[in-house]
Chain A
Amino acid sequence: MKQYKNVIAAYTIMILLIISVGVLQSWSIALTILNYCLISAVMTIGANIQWGYAGLINFGIMGYTALGGLAAVLVNTPPVKEAWKAGGMEMIISLILIILGVYLIQFILRKLVKSKKRNYLIALIIIIGFLVVRYISGPAIENIEAVDPAKTGFLGGLGLPIIFSWIVGGLFAAGIAFVVGKIALGLRADYLAIATLLIAEIIVSVIKHEDWLSRGVKNVIGLKRPVPYEVDLQNTSWFINLVEKFHSKKLQLISSLSEKQDILNQLVIDASSVYVKLCLAGLFLTVVIILLILTQKALYSPWGRKMRAIRDNEVAANAMGKNVVKEHLLIFILGSAIVGIAGAMMVTNDGLFTPGSYRPMRYTFVIWVMVIVGGTGNNFGAILGGFVVWFLWVEAAPIALFFINFFTSHLEETNSFKAHLIESAAYFRFLLVGIGLLIIMRYRPKGLIPEKINIKKI
């Protein structure tokens, strides 16, 4: 029990902080922060099993998050029949051709001896394949994008509940991670970081510009939620009764009937938004807990010990007969899949998909700061990091504003220096997070909750 004291204390402080936001600002804001904290926690679990368990740097988190978001769109939006008629067949043929091409290349790689001729042959196949696919899909893409471009202009999805996309997002990310891992995993640590970051940029730019797939920068809005809508709740009698019961003391004090009704309406509106966010938080928390249990089990299993051995000394682990390359690929896929799940959860939470918003700052570097601040190799630490850093990221502006006002209180309101500072209060989040990272790296390099390995004594 004693060894968990720090963990419990840290989480208690974190929860108290969120509650204090609820009391000081509003419960709706507090729950929004909590939801994003939970999503960030899923991402940090993914990044942590790559970096903490296996020592792999994956700066491509942004790409897998975007893939998760794409999955949400493809699962949830209803199919667009006209678009399928306009060019669906051609797109399917192109897809089959691409798959055939990949198989052909694999076949050549396996059957022919390594030579210059083989390289030329593969290059030829890629170039011809590219031109053929362009020739077939080009007009089809134009036709699809011409179908009611203001509203659809894409093939649409399956029209299934968005919850399924969490799994599909994980699978998408895993599939791409397999390819990326095959390409990049042989590289040394810092090259791997750069390569994964750049590949993620490629993924995002494809999602951004292939309008027939996901409407690209035109964004997809109105994805259906897995939880009730505020408007529906406000007209449901059991919900109104619940709110009335909850606030009965307060309502009793008011005598006028019409005034009472007005206040009740306002309370119902507030409560409906809180209720929806609570439902989402419940779903997210379930995912976090399931992942936490699984990753903890994995960490203390023989497999987890093997991963740590590989991380700490690759050569020795290799000499003991562990297949380092295979294990690296496996954990790269697993971690990326978890990030993909988080990406789908994020789109579920927002109800919209905006490919333009996937930027390395927010979706790669901030997540990495979370893992490092929280504690590498320790899942509780990583989750805490997600909470702390996200909380700082959101609350930095109000905190900065408070301090600016405090320190410049002797200046007049019209002072240009003060006005400039107040205007740029939003950017103090970068400063806060950056300095936080630097301090942690210097004075507590293992993070807030460091990794603990119990070695049993005989």
Chain B
Amino acid sequence: MEFINAIILLLNYTIIPALTYGSQLALGAIFVTLVYGILRFANFATGDMMSFGTMIAVLLTFYFQSLGISFGFLPTALLTIPFAIIGMIFYMLFIDKFVFSYYRIKKSPPVQLAMVSVGVMFVTQAIIRIIIGPFDRRFFDGEKFILKATEFKEMTGLNEGLTIKSTQAITILVTIVLVSIMFWFLNRTKTGTSMRAYSDNEDLALLSGIDPKRVVLITWIIAGVLATIGGVLYGLDKSYRPFVYFNNMLPIFAAAIVGGIGNPFGAFLGGYVIAFAEILVTYAYKKFFTYILPDFLEPDSLIQLLSTDYKFAVSFSILVIVLLFRPSGIFKGKTL
């Protein structure tokens, strides 16, 4: 019994939150990696692009709520995602046409494109703050819990409760579905294959008749889908605040690089690596050890490797370690 209690404790406080957070990071990391692999630059506007998509969803959610439309026990925001995606894709294509395409055609070095993306970051941030303001906004509605701690305790008779928030379940499910579709698309369809070919070797891909404009267009469309859904899922789970989204860019970058930048599957796993590391290193294991150890060995300190203040620092340290020992990432990405 003690042992099962310990497992449930870990599930409740580390594994489920880490899976949720990891899914949100993974979507962002795939977005970064796709842009890096196909458009060939580090996109510093990542966080703010996700924020932009989420902003549309938030505004639409408020509008739908005022009209009285709801999605039953699911959050209304899920209904608005398709519209938000369309808005997001239009914004991205607009930026691409007026900003990025010029440098792409000129074949500027990646650094210059990265700098340009800093400019886009500023502008996007300004637009978001002018439209919706810098404040914290909660747009979650519907049923909050799938499984409550008290219900779980009654059901099983254990000491430890297991809580599953509906946002956590939604996040994990949506991520699995979305990522499966995307990998199917990239690996099995002709368009997906042409995108990978373009990413591997641009010149050869052009020679074999792949239309670069089409590849770029589809990349932005996929990027728009990933950015919006990733952003909305994060916002539903925590809350929507532009500044937080900008900061999320950093662990997302870490995930993409740890997984091997340019490699979507690596980025997907990298998200979970970062999330699990952050949560496992900063979790206080005192209660866990009181369950599994005999009474005389019970710990009196918190058994916390690092305080939770260092959450971000943990993921960045992992990045530094990976860069030191495996510069191309855990799952071989593009070489540096």
- A residues contacting B by CB (< 8 A) are 57, 183-184, 186-191, 193-195, 197-199, 201-202, 205-206, 208-209, 360-361, 365, 368-369, 372, 421, 423-424, 427-431, 433-435, 437-438, 441-442, 445
* Closest B residue, CB atoms, query A396: B126
A60 to B82, CA, bound (A): 38
- B133 surroundings in chain A (CB, below 8 A): 423-424
- B316 surroundings in chain A (CB, below 8 A): 198-199, 201-202
A424 to B133, CA, bound (A): 7
* Interchain nearest-CB distance for A206 vs B (Å): 7
A186-B327, A191-B323, A201-B312 are contacts. A433–B130 as well, Cβ < 8 Å? no
A199 to B312, CA, bound (A): 11
- A424 surroundings in chain B (CB, below 8 A): 129-130, 133
Cβ-closest 9 pairs across A and B: A434-B122, A430-B126, A431-B126, A434-B123, A427-B129, A437-B119, A209-B309, A198-B316, A190-B42
A64 to B323, CA, bound (A): 21
Give B317-336 interface residues, CB cut-off 8 Å to A. Answer: 317, 319-320, 323-324, 327, 336
Q: Is the CB of A372 within 8 A of B121?
A: no
- A191 surroundings in chain B (CB, below 8 A): 42, 257, 261, 323, 327, 336
Q: Is the CB of B123 within 8 A of A430?
A: yes
Q: Is the CB of A202 within 8 A of B253?
A: no
* Interchain nearest-CB distance for B174 vs A (Å): 27
* Closest B residue, CB atoms, query A210: B309
Which one of A188, A205, A360 contacts B313 once the chains associate, using CB atoms below 8 Å? A205
Q: Is the CB of A438 within 8 A of B42?
A: no
Q: Does chain A have a CB within 8 A of B180?
A: no
Which one of B121, B310, B320 contacts A195 once the chains associate, using CB atoms below 8 Å? B320
Q: Is the CB of B115 within 8 A of A209?
A: no
* Interchain nearest-CB distance for B47 vs A (Å): 11
A57-B111, A189-B111 are contacts. A183–B122 as well, Cβ < 8 Å? no
A437 to B116, CA, bound (A): 8
Give B112-158 interface residues, CB cut-off 8 Å to A. Answer: 112, 114-116, 118-127, 129-130, 133-134
Q: Is the CB of B253 within 8 A of A368?
A: no
Which one of A184, A198, A369, A427 contacts B130 once the chains associate, using CB atoms below 8 Å? A427
A266 to B127, CA, bound (A): 42
* Interchain nearest-CB distance for B318 vs A (Å): 10
* Interchain nearest-CB distance for B252 vs A (Å): 10
A424 to B324, CA, bound (A): 44
* Closest A residue, CB atoms, query B128: A427
* Interchain nearest-CB distance for B316 vs A (Å): 4
A183-B324, A427-B126 are contacts. A197–B250 as well, Cβ < 8 Å? yes
Q: Is the CB of A208 within 8 A of B123?
A: no
Known: A198-B316, A202-B313. 14 other contacts (CB 8 A): A184-B323, A189-B109, A190-B111, A191-B261, A191-B327, A193-B42, A195-B320, A205-B309, A206-B313, A365-B118, A428-B130, A430-B125, A431-B127, A434-B121
Q: Is the CB of A442 within 8 A of B123?
A: no
A368 to B111, CA, bound (A): 13
* Closest B residue, CB atoms, query A209: B309
- B112 surroundings in chain A (CB, below 8 A): 441, 445
Dominant secondary structure of chain B at its interface with chain A: helix
- B94 surroundings in chain A (CB, below 8 A): none
A188 to B99, CA, bound (A): 24
Dominant secondary structure of chain A at its interface with chain B: helix
Q: Does chain A have a CB within 8 A of B192?
A: no
- A441 surroundings in chain B (CB, below 8 A): 112, 115-116, 119
- A423 surroundings in chain B (CB, below 8 A): 133
A365-B121, A430-B129, A434-B123 are contacts. A201–B115 as well, Cβ < 8 Å? no
* Interchain nearest-CB distance for A178 vs B (Å): 15
Residue contacts A-B, CB under 8 angstroms, 25 given: A183-B320, A183-B323, A191-B261, A194-B42, A195-B320, A201-B312, A202-B313, A206-B313, A365-B122, A368-B115, A368-B118, A369-B119, A369-B122, A372-B115, A424-B129, A428-B126, A431-B126, A431-B130, A434-B119, A434-B123, A434-B126, A437-B118, A437-B119, A438-B99, A438-B116
Q: Is the CB of A435 within 8 A of B121?
A: no
A198-B250, A431-B126 are contacts. A208–B110 as well, Cβ < 8 Å? no
* Interchain nearest-CB distance for A54 vs B (Å): 13
Q: Is the CB of B310 within 8 A of A209?
A: yes
Q: Is the CB of A199 within 8 A of B320?
A: yes
A442 to B115, CA, bound (A): 11
- A369 surroundings in chain B (CB, below 8 A): 118-119, 122
Among B119, B121, B323, B327, chain A packs the most CB atoms within 10 A around the CB of: B119
- A184 surroundings in chain B (CB, below 8 A): 320, 323
* Interface 0/1 of B165-188, CB less than 8 Å to A: 000000000000000000000000
- A437 surroundings in chain B (CB, below 8 A): 115, 118-119, 122
- B125 surroundings in chain A (CB, below 8 A): 361, 427, 430, 434
A194 to B256, CA, bound (A): 11
Q: Is the CB of A187 within 8 A of B327?
A: yes
* Interchain nearest-CB distance for A58 vs B (Å): 12
A49 to B112, CA, bound (A): 18
- B8 surroundings in chain A (CB, below 8 A): none
- B269 surroundings in chain A (CB, below 8 A): none
A198 to B119, CA, bound (A): 19
A285 to B130, CA, bound (A): 36
Among A206, A435, A437, chain B packs the most CB atoms within 10 A around the CB of: A437
- B130 surroundings in chain A (CB, below 8 A): 421, 424, 427-428, 431
